[in-house]
Chains A and B, each alone.
Chain A
Amino acid sequence: MPKDPSIKSVLIIGSGPIIIGQACEFDYSGSQASRSLKEEGVEVSLINSNPATIMTDKVTADHIYLLPLTTDSIEKILQERKIDAVLPTMGGQTALNLCKEADERGIWKKYGVRIIGVNIAAIETTENRELFRQLMVDIGVGVAPSKIANSFLEGKEIAQKLGFPLVIRPSYTLGGTGAGFVYKKEEFEEKLMRGLQASPIHEVLIEKAVFGWKEFELELLRDNKDNVIIICSIENFDPMGIHTGDSITVAPAMTLSDKTYQHMRNLAIKMMRSIGEFAGGCNVQFAVNPEDESIIAVEINPRVSRSSALASKATGYPIAKIAAKMAIGYNLDELQNQITGSTSAFFEPTLDYVIVKIPRWNFDKFHGADRSLGLQMKSVGEAMGIGRSFAEALQKACQSLEINRLGLGADGKGWTRVDDIVHSMEHPSWDRLFHIKEALRLGVPIQSVHNLTKVDKWFLNEIQQLVQIEAELRRYQLNNIPADLMLEIKQKGYADAQIAHLLGNVTEDEVYQRRKELGVKRVYKMVDTCAAEFPSQTPYLYSTFEAAFRRADGELAAENESVVSNKKKVIVLGSGPNRIGQGIEFDYSCVHGILAARESGYEAIMVNCNPETVSTDFDIADKLYFEPVFWEHIYELIEYEKPEGVIVQLGGQTALKLSERLHQNGIKIIGTSFDSMDLAEDRGRFSDLLKSLDIPYPLYGVAESAEEALVVANKVGYPVLVRPSYVLGGQGMSIVINDEELEIAVIKLLKNLPGNRVLIDHFLDRAEEAEADVICDGENIQFIGLMEHIEPAGIHSGDSYAVLPPFSLSESVLDQMREYARKIALALNVRGLLNIQYAIKKDKVYVIEANPRASRTVPFIAKAHQVPYINIATKVMLGVKKLSDFKIDPVSFGYAIKEPVFSFDKFPNVNKELGPEMKSTGEAIRFIDSIEDPYFRNLYKEKSMYLSR
């Protein structure tokens, strides 16, 4: 059936603020779905309370509702606009739940709205563990044996029957809360009791734990004719027992025979068909017993998911886009493969490369958090590496994580105590992968590592080969490494910096020069869905190393599929994996930067390694390089593409911190110069600048030891704010009030970040905090907006409620803020964006810091004002436009409040008190007409409480 003509207007439900377990992958799917529907001439309305998303931008949907995700909001939209159908499958569980709730309240029926992409019964079946289990039994699909217990006694009887280990899952708790493994009888009673208490209906599911079984996921698409295809198979490196969101995953599946894979494929199709008739995407998870290859179903999600975003990036197949088209009536055989542009969308992508996804955790933000990995997801982001072997993809993913590692080890940061390593392997946390490598390096046998981790031996053997090639490399010096070995080690994903470390006494740059002399250079290959069987139209690229071959005309060279055009071009550096303090808002900025560069006649080239993002969608940039935002990859790419310059202002601190090396290597930084950026980032230079501009700032000093710190603190006066220089999101920051506290804080900082310097600022106690975002073209400045924080200074700006425009600051204060912003922007000769943070005490404004880049608040203000500030700033940066070329006309509204959202429920034992270190994972926007609004009054009351403390 072609497109259903009765669907003219569709409402897409977003997933709301970013929380652990539901992150920016749903901005990716929602944006794709929206663009896909618009392509078909469908009018798209979108509801989401998350202002940092690209889906809530005019470039994505026709009508945007930045409203709380409640049925009242839905009803308000339906009263205002004729909606034919609602698509709830793009916004995670939040959207499905809201859709279900609205259905229960009869809202869809009342307004004549059809639910497309899923059916309500399917949601019900897949969410209710008992219904799901029963259905699987009915259709003959294996599941882990389990039973529901409503009492302590019942629970004990079930446990006796099933045997240990077991899983206890309390019913009706969110996100796996209270779920846990029980390894032996002794711990059972206590955990059962806790589980029953955690459940609001005093009910737990007791399930046989298939601990250590291999874990797989399949991504399915089904159309209205019941045609089903498998887009991707994903194998978890970490076996059953660790949440898939916290597992390292690999695609395609590496250790499945065709026989087992086809069996799994058949089961998946059967399962999808069993949960109801609907056209759309579906994710199915399986566990495979390595002993006899028997398969059991773990769960099924009738919607796009984190894994389908990953599968889209892994294969090039735009799952959300196609799912949206099917939701309005198309069938797969009527649609085209958008990557090749010539073949059918009804097919199963095939990969001639490997992808590895590694989650990004942020335990350092949650002091006292249980860092062990288990049934509950704890990671906040992820990075994906693409390579022509598992080892290469794995190392590229490690290089993408930005955790100060150069790859999988070989960087002098490994552990050497076998006892610690063995403990870590048995008790997995974020660093287990690294410890597996260390164990093998120290000679722990593969069998032992397998026994401790249950990681499939194929993966362990591949890591063992890394250990072997490292030993081989150490036999050489830079000048006598054979070209073959250099190629092989680069093919295994080693960074030049790792090779330099292994050789000793050489620099990364020297290794780079030497390998170029040996002819070992990166080549770029395409992600094309079809392993090159058909020509592809889409420049979605990744780097690898390949042996040269001799063509018939005699030329000896490796093949490079990336064709460098002679157009003027610019590279936009992305922000890497999401983490606290650097999230989706930078993806928003990168997307707008790319679009603005394209509008300005540039070939826009995107580089990023975060599979959850819109900026890495294949149809956003002119050219997409899915690569680590890691020096070596960036530099070699720049040498290859020879862009006019690089935009570092949009990709957060990740991109900004590469600017020094770019500058040193003579690469042009678009917009504000490196020197100006350094001036803003270097505390000493910046304070000198403020002094010369006659701008007040809190007294400060720099210390390299605890003794020095005491001297500085007494000079600037307590209370003081202590922090390491060059950090993100206030990492490691604290406020102390006396010598004793200071000593403890400084010693801890220097221990965790050896070699770092400590900044000590006088802390303006009970000050108010505000910030400004501006665009400057070197002559004029444009205020994007001023925002007043509700919490006082001392609470990280990312964790504060903030109000646009300021609601209580006096005109005199606002004037000071504006004047200082203007002075600083012009003094720094900013071309592009600048964010300034202020503290205000007794009507006197102090400048705390200036960030010469897009900030967290720019997307928020852009949404509230409905002005494309990043687009304007990018054109100013590129020098193609002056501020005077734009007519900037913000819409009027009362106040917009930025509400921080936390994921503390994932870390029950963590101190929830806020401070200078950012802890929120997401944000929402809420509009109010006046400060008399009861919601606002309530917030404000809390402010007074803070101030009186």
Chain B
Amino acid sequence: MKYTPKSPAVLVLQDGTVFYGKSAGKVGTATGEICFNTGMTGYQEVFTDPSYKGQLLLATNVHIGNYGITDNESESNSIKIAGLICRNFSQHHSRKQADASLTDYFIEQNMVAICEIDTRALVRHIRNKGAMNGIISSETLDVDVLKKSLANVPSMEGLELSSTVSTKEPYFFGNPDAKFKVAVLDEGVKTNTLRCLSDRNCYVKVYPYNTSFEEMNAWEPDGFLISNGPGDPAVMPNVVQIVKDIIAHDKPVFGICLGHQLIAEACGISTFKMFNGHRGINHPVKNMVTGHSEVTSQNHGFSIGLKDADKSDVVEITHVNLNDHSVEGIRVKNKKAFSVQYHPESAPGPDDSRYLFDEFVGSLRVGKSAETLA
């Protein structure tokens, strides 16, 4: 094997900052909002997480690709990030179970990446200036041309993206003979969420992002899950209406991430775009009900207002972030609906919060026995 020099690539930020690096993956151009993820494992799960739709992912972990790609560890059927920014893109990998190298996977999926830039400097830049759009290119290095293309990239704020990642047709997941039936409103659901339900004796039907309550309820589910997904919840009034209908119906409802924000909107609590989102697998959350804390997997650029939630008569705050005290979980008073801002299905990340699935399925059981009794 001989040393092979890598071809150059550039990254141009919305504010005019330019990083010079090397090309990895497919030669091409990619645009999106730059967001950084601080996880040290789980790049494949992150790349395939639909919530990252439209984003240029900046990995803070300095080596990416070490253990290759393994088919059954994807969170959806394709790469969802718009492009990758990293320090060292592994040219080789080591894992017996791996099905492909990261390079091969990126080329197959037409994914553009830039490496060998000072990712830490970029994180600090974004941390100080706030989330912003960027453009990566390895096909043209002309910064002026790239700046023009970048100007046409819309802001994440006010962007609805669930429609681009949600299933077009309903589908089933899990064992049809399972004890419970759960309807999942797919705003960009991760496979592991479905797995967590089916592992707990649930048969799951996944519905497109804008399916009406009536249509879902016709299947007679025992409960509903409003999934995670990309984009700004404030511009999804139709979905918020559906969520309102679901909650009104009084069956157990579980919201995750975007689903949590939609439940909040449905309860009259406003959402906002954060200066910098939470993305990583080490975020500390305290459960205010039990007093215990959990290390959580997070990926969100929008959040629900703390003041709104605090003074709301409709919801109570169940979980808070120990770093910035933002709202991490709510429960709708007098209803069986609750939601969390983080990802209890993790993948990647710790399994600390899996108990939420147990609680959700536990409430299905209560509902079921009440029904059976009736």
A residues in contact (CB < 8 Å) with B: 225-227, 229-230, 233, 252-259, 261-262, 265-266, 290-293, 332-333, 342-344, 346-354, 388-390, 456-458, 461, 464-465, 468-469, 471-472, 484-485, 488, 491, 525, 530-535, 546-552, 558-559, 561
B73 contacts A by Cβ under 8 Å: yes
Cβ-neighbour of B322 out of A254, A344, A388, A461 (below 8 A): A344
B2 contacts A by Cβ under 8 Å: yes
The interface stretch among B40-48, B134-142, B151-159, B164-172 is: B40-48
B188 contacts A by Cβ under 8 Å: no
The smallest beta-carbon distance between A869 and chain B, in angstroms, is 42
Residue of B nearest to A485 (CB): B5
- On chain B, the residues within 8 Å of A229 by CB distance are 295
- On chain A, the residues within 8 Å of B3 by CB distance are 465, 468-469, 471-472
List 12 A–B pairs whose Cβ atoms lie within 8 Å, in order of A's numbering: A227-B293, A252-B40, A256-B67, A265-B351, A347-B283, A352-B123, A457-B92, A468-B1, A530-B38, A531-B38, A533-B36, A548-B20
Cβ-neighbour of A547 out of B21, B276, B294 (below 8 A): B21
The smallest beta-carbon distance between A30 and chain B, in angstroms, is 28
Cβ-neighbour of A257 out of B38, B73, B281 (below 8 A): B73
Rounded to whole angstroms, the CA-CA distance of A253 and B60 in the bound complex is 15
The answer to whether B118 and A559 touch across the interface, beta carbons within 8 angstroms, is yes
The smallest beta-carbon distance between A862 and chain B, in angstroms, is 41
The smallest beta-carbon distance between A575 and chain B, in angstroms, is 29
9 closest A-B pairs by CB = A258-B42, A344-B322, A531-B60, A458-B94, A559-B121, A258-B348, A546-B118, A552-B16, A472-B3
- On chain B, the residues within 8 Å of A457 by CB distance are 92, 94
Residue of A nearest to B118 (CB): A546
B95 contacts A by Cβ under 8 Å: yes
The smallest beta-carbon distance between B274 and chain A, in angstroms, is 13
Among B120, B127, B348: residue with most chain A CB under 10 A:
B120
B25 contacts A by Cβ under 8 Å: no
- On chain B, the residues within 8 Å of A458 by CB distance are 66-67, 90, 92-94
The answer to whether A225 and B323 touch across the interface, beta carbons within 8 angstroms, is no
Cβ-neighbour of A389 out of B42, B87, B322, B349 (below 8 A): B87
Cβ-neighbour of B350 out of A252, A265, A559 (below 8 A): A265
The smallest beta-carbon distance between B116 and chain A, in angstroms, is 6
Residue of A nearest to B2 (CB): A468
Cβ-neighbour of A354 out of B62, B93, B118, B280 (below 8 A): B62
The answer to whether A333 and B322 touch across the interface, beta carbons within 8 angstroms, is yes
**Restricting to B297-327, which residues have a CB under 8 Å from any CB of A?**
322-323
B363 contacts A by Cβ under 8 Å: no
Rounded to whole angstroms, the CA-CA distance of A255 and B68 in the bound complex is 10
Rounded to whole angstroms, the CA-CA distance of A49 and B122 in the bound complex is 50
The smallest beta-carbon distance between B75 and chain A, in angstroms, is 11
> Given A346-B284, A347-B322, A352-B120, is A262 in contact with B60 using a C-beta cutoff of 8 Å?
no
B63 contacts A by Cβ under 8 Å: yes
Rounded to whole angstroms, the CA-CA distance of A262 and B346 in the bound complex is 10
Cβ-neighbour of B38 out of A225, A259, A350, A548 (below 8 A): A350
**Restricting to B346-370, which residues have a CB under 8 Å from any CB of A?**
346-351
B334 contacts A by Cβ under 8 Å: no
- On chain B, the residues within 8 Å of A550 by CB distance are 17-20
Cβ-neighbour of B62 out of A352, A488, A552 (below 8 A): A352
The answer to whether B66 and A255 touch across the interface, beta carbons within 8 angstroms, is yes
Rounded to whole angstroms, the CA-CA distance of A873 and B18 in the bound complex is 51
The smallest beta-carbon distance between A106 and chain B, in angstroms, is 36
- On chain A, the residues within 8 Å of B94 by CB distance are 255, 456-458, 461
Residue pairs across A and B with CB atoms within 8 Å: the count is 197
The answer to whether B323 and A291 touch across the interface, beta carbons within 8 angstroms, is no
B76 contacts A by Cβ under 8 Å: no
The answer to whether A266 and B63 touch across the interface, beta carbons within 8 angstroms, is no
The smallest beta-carbon distance between B374 and chain A, in angstroms, is 39
- On chain B, the residues within 8 Å of A461 by CB distance are 91-92, 94
Residue of A nearest to B67 (CB): A257
- On chain A, the residues within 8 Å of B63 by CB distance are 254, 354, 389-390
The answer to whether B2 and A471 touch across the interface, beta carbons within 8 angstroms, is yes
The answer to whether B118 and A349 touch across the interface, beta carbons within 8 angstroms, is no
The answer to whether B127 and A558 touch across the interface, beta carbons within 8 angstroms, is no
The smallest beta-carbon distance between A416 and chain B, in angstroms, is 21
Residue of B nearest to A259 (CB): B73
B211 contacts A by Cβ under 8 Å: no
The answer to whether B41 and A532 touch across the interface, beta carbons within 8 angstroms, is no
Rounded to whole angstroms, the CA-CA distance of A471 and B92 in the bound complex is 19
| 6 additional A-B residue pairs with CB within 8 Å, beyond A346-B286, A472-B3, A547-B117 | A257-B95, A258-B347, A266-B351, A347-B283, A461-B91, A546-B118
Rounded to whole angstroms, the CA-CA distance of A259 and B283 in the bound complex is 18
A interface footprint on B34-66 (CB within 8 Å = 1, 0 otherwise): 001011111011000000000000001111001
**Restricting to B1-42, which residues have a CB under 8 Å from any CB of A?**
1-3, 5, 15-21, 36, 38-42
The answer to whether B292 and A258 touch across the interface, beta carbons within 8 angstroms, is no
B88 contacts A by Cβ under 8 Å: yes
Rounded to whole angstroms, the CA-CA distance of A559 and B283 in the bound complex is 27
- On chain A, the residues within 8 Å of B44 by CB distance are 257-258
> Given A344-B284, A548-B20, A559-B124, is A256 in contact with B41 using a C-beta cutoff of 8 Å?
yes
The answer to whether A388 and B124 touch across the interface, beta carbons within 8 angstroms, is no
**Restricting to B217-266, which residues have a CB under 8 Å from any CB of A?**
none
The answer to whether B66 and A347 touch across the interface, beta carbons within 8 angstroms, is no
The answer to whether A549 and B17 touch across the interface, beta carbons within 8 angstroms, is yes
B96 contacts A by Cβ under 8 Å: yes
Rounded to whole angstroms, the CA-CA distance of A259 and B41 in the bound complex is 9
The answer to whether A291 and B280 touch across the interface, beta carbons within 8 angstroms, is no
- On chain B, the residues within 8 Å of A352 by CB distance are 38, 60-62, 87, 119-120, 123
Residue of A nearest to B88 (CB): A389
Among B20, B117, B291, B322: residue with most chain A CB under 10 A:
B322
> Given A256-B67, A257-B70, is A531 in contact with B2 using a C-beta cutoff of 8 Å?
no
The smallest beta-carbon distance between A926 and chain B, in angstroms, is 47
- On chain B, the residues within 8 Å of A535 by CB distance are 127
- On chain B, the residues within 8 Å of A552 by CB distance are 15-17
Residue of A nearest to B11 (CB): A549
The answer to whether A258 and B349 touch across the interface, beta carbons within 8 angstroms, is yes
B110 contacts A by Cβ under 8 Å: no
Cβ-neighbour of B96 out of A291, A469, A488 (below 8 A): A291
The answer to whether B280 and A551 touch across the interface, beta carbons within 8 angstroms, is no
The answer to whether B292 and A532 touch across the interface, beta carbons within 8 angstroms, is no
Residue of A nearest to B21 (CB): A547
- On chain A, the residues within 8 Å of B276 by CB distance are 533
Rounded to whole angstroms, the CA-CA distance of A350 and B119 in the bound complex is 14
The smallest beta-carbon distance between B167 and chain A, in angstroms, is 24
- On chain A, the residues within 8 Å of B88 by CB distance are 388-389
B282 contacts A by Cβ under 8 Å: yes
> Given A226-B292, A344-B284, A532-B124, is A547 in contact with B20 using a C-beta cutoff of 8 Å?
yes
The answer to whether B121 and A546 touch across the interface, beta carbons within 8 angstroms, is yes
The answer to whether A549 and B20 touch across the interface, beta carbons within 8 angstroms, is yes
- On chain B, the residues within 8 Å of A353 by CB distance are 62
The smallest beta-carbon distance between B16 and chain A, in angstroms, is 4
Residue of B nearest to A459 (CB): B94
B97 contacts A by Cβ under 8 Å: yes
The answer to whether B96 and A347 touch across the interface, beta carbons within 8 angstroms, is no
Rounded to whole angstroms, the CA-CA distance of A343 and B285 in the bound complex is 12
The answer to whether A351 and B323 touch across the interface, beta carbons within 8 angstroms, is no
- On chain B, the residues within 8 Å of A389 by CB distance are 62-63, 87-88
Rounded to whole angstroms, the CA-CA distance of A252 and B94 in the bound complex is 16
- On chain A, the residues within 8 Å of B39 by CB distance are 258, 350
The answer to whether A255 and B293 touch across the interface, beta carbons within 8 angstroms, is no
The smallest beta-carbon distance between B191 and chain A, in angstroms, is 13
- On chain B, the residues within 8 Å of A266 by CB distance are 351
Rounded to whole angstroms, the CA-CA distance of A354 and B63 in the bound complex is 9
- On chain B, the residues within 8 Å of A255 by CB distance are 66-67, 94-95
Rounded to whole angstroms, the CA-CA distance of A903 and B66 in the bound complex is 40
- On chain B, the residues within 8 Å of A262 by CB distance are 41, 346, 348-351
The answer to whether A332 and B66 touch across the interface, beta carbons within 8 angstroms, is no
Residue of B nearest to A550 (CB): B18
- On chain A, the residues within 8 Å of B92 by CB distance are 457-458, 461
